[in-house]
Amino acid sequence: TYIPIIVVSGDVQQRLVDRDLSADITDYFDKSLGPQALSTFIRGYVRPDQQVAGNVLYVEDSRVVALATRRMMEKHGLTVHHVVSVEEALEYLRKAEAEGRAPGPDVVLTDVYLKGGLTGKDLLEQVRGQMQYGKGLLPILVMTGDDNPNNQSALLRAGANDLVQKPIEERILTAKLSFQLRVAQSLRERAAAESAAPTT
């Protein structure tokens, strides 16, 4: 029986960066996001079929892994655009920006080591630094099989919203994608409402 264990804490971000969490913990939630976000977060685990729609930019150079993971995401109602390198991902994002569709996808899912001269960490640095897309505007999940806490912390400091441990578990992947999509959509709706509100 799959029983997720979630830590709700006020110091999640530091724990996330430090990777200071037990191996028995499934995931963690920052209580400052509020009870509604917590409800959404938990619902993603206990009712994984009730996913939000969204567009995923998926960066993975293994065709076999990409096919299986893409099917997982599409089964849960997500639209997936797959590329095999960071260079292709950046081209896709820049094209969306040039066409006035920035940021383009609703979420990015990337591996760390990829074809070409750039890594997933380079993608994070380009998106967060040069393109100035914050975590709320364009969430980025990084898939990694590296258990080294220092390497994991480096990815989070570079701008990853969260990490997805390899080998990929469908339930955890879709729950994390769903949560990031819901939070990003909520932030966009709030920003749109604030911009539409009359000034006094």
Rounded Cα–Cα distance for residues 58 and 70 (Å): 8
- pLDDT score, position 17: 52
- pLDDT score, position 18: 52
- pLDDT score, position 129: 93
Domains and CATH numbers, the chain: 52-196 (3.40.50.2300)
3-state helix, strand, coil in the chain (%, to 5): 50, 20, 35
Question: Could you give phi then psi for residue 140, rounded to 5 degrees?
Answer: -130, 120
Rounded Cα–Cα distance for residues 8 and 138 (Å): 24
pTM above threshold 0.85: no
Taking a C-beta distance cutoff of 8 angstroms, is the pair 153, 27 a contact?
A: no
Positions of the chain with pLDDT under 50: 1-2, 19, 21, 23, 49
- pLDDT score, position 78: 95
Would you state the torsion angle of the CA atoms of residues 90, 56, 105, 62, taken in this order, to the nearest 10 degrees?
10
pLDDT tens-digit readout, 80-132: 999 999 999 999 999 999 999 989 999 999 999 999 999 999 999 999 999 99
Taking a C-beta distance cutoff of 8 angstroms, is the pair 124, 160 a contact?
A: yes
All residues at 6 or more sequence positions from 173 whose CB lies less than 8 Å from its CB, including other chains:
69, 72, 73, 164
- pLDDT score, position 1: 42
- pLDDT score, position 2: 47
